């Protein structure tokens, strides 16, 4: 476990050196309570960028939600994802009764999550349609803060076709936390979350 912690620290230091990982907490200072950080997704670097931009006290209990079909495809990726970053591995198999089961279990244990509500990487510059998974989590865990995040420039630092990152500045904007209000259906909640993420995107474009 000590080796994995050192590797994680080295990885995060490398991410800060390559991309800056400068976090701006637009919605106020982080509370430190249990949260689901919902971010746009354009690069395999996104989860590490988000963790690297957080205050140190939040890092230990914040776990990325990762696609098992990609991050578990070989022993190196699985070790990095599961052992070093303690990611919550999700099987993106439509035949599974509850593919988000591991995320539910992590939240029950008190962990915070990094969640990409688009469900897959996009080309950058705009937000794709949000999948309903985050609504299910928000509805089941009403006391957990849903924190919108916009990651700027990660697609240029590590594009889809790139094998190695290209150094460049990345900024991350953390918005004001929201929660399911107890009455919203999935469409209304996802629209509210999308609006919050879009507002952060417009802020980044200024």
Name residue, tokens 């897959």. 120
Confidence at residue 121, expressed as pLDDT on a 0 to 100 scale: 87
pLDDT, residue 95, reads 64
Indicate the pairing of strand 88-90 with strand 62-67: parallel
pLDDT above 70: residue 96? no
What tokens were used for 38?
Answer: 């919902």
Q: Give the span between the Cα atoms of 146 and 34, in whole angstroms.
A: 9
Dump pLDDT digits (tens) for 16-46: 999 998 999 998 888 889 999 999 999 999 9
Is residue 33 within a helix (H) or strand (E), and if so which, with residue range?
none
* C-alpha–C-alpha distance, residues 38 and 145, integer Å: 10
**Structure-token pair, residue 121:** 């990487």
Q: What confidence tier does 97 reach under pLDDT thresholds 50, 70, 90?
A: low
Distance CA 141, CA 197 (A): 20
pLDDT of residue 4: 94
Measured CA to CA, the distance from residue 55 to residue 65 in angstroms comes to: 19
Say if residue 92's pLDDT is above 90.
no
Determine the pLDDT at residue 140: 97
H/E stretch holding 147 reads strand 145-152
- Which tens digit of pLDDT belongs to each residue from 55-73? 999 999 999 999 998 888 8
Across all residues in the chain, what is the average pLDDT?
92
CA distance 3 to 14: 16
Q: pTM of the predicted model, to two decimals?
A: 0.94
Helix (H, G, I), strand (E, B) or coil at 107: helix
| DSSP secondary structure code for residue 178 in this structure | B
The predicted structure's pLDDT at residue 204: 79
The rounded Cα 173 to chain-centroid distance in angstroms is 12
Contact 117, 133 (CB under 8 A): yes
């Amino acid at each position: 476990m000590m080796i994995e912690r050192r590797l994680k620290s080295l990885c995060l230091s490398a991410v800060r050196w390559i991309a800056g990982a400068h976090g701006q907490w637009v919605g106020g200072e982080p509370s430190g309570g249990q949260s689901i950080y919902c971010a746009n997704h354009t690069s395999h670097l996104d989860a590490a960028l988000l963790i690297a931009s957080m205050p140190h006290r939040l890092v230990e209990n914040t776990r990325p939600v990762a696609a098992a079909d990609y991050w578990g495809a070989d022993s190196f990726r699985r070790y990095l994802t599961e052992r070093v970053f303690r990611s919550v591995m999700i099987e993106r198999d439509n035949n599974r009764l509850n593919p988000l089961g591991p995320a539910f279990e992590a939240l029950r244990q008190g962990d915070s999550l990094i969640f990409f509500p688009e469900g897959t990487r996009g080309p950058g510059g705009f937000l794709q349609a949000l999948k309903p998974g985050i609504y299910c989590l928000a509805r089941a865990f009403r006391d957990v803060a849903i924190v919108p995040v916009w990651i700027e420039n990660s697609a240029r630092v590590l594009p889809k076709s790139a094998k190695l990152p290209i150094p460049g500045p990345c900024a991350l904007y953390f918005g004001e936390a929201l929660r399911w209000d107890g009455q919203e259906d999935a469409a209304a909640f996802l629209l509210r979350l999308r609006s919050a993420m879009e507002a952060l995107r417009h802020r980044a474009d200024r």
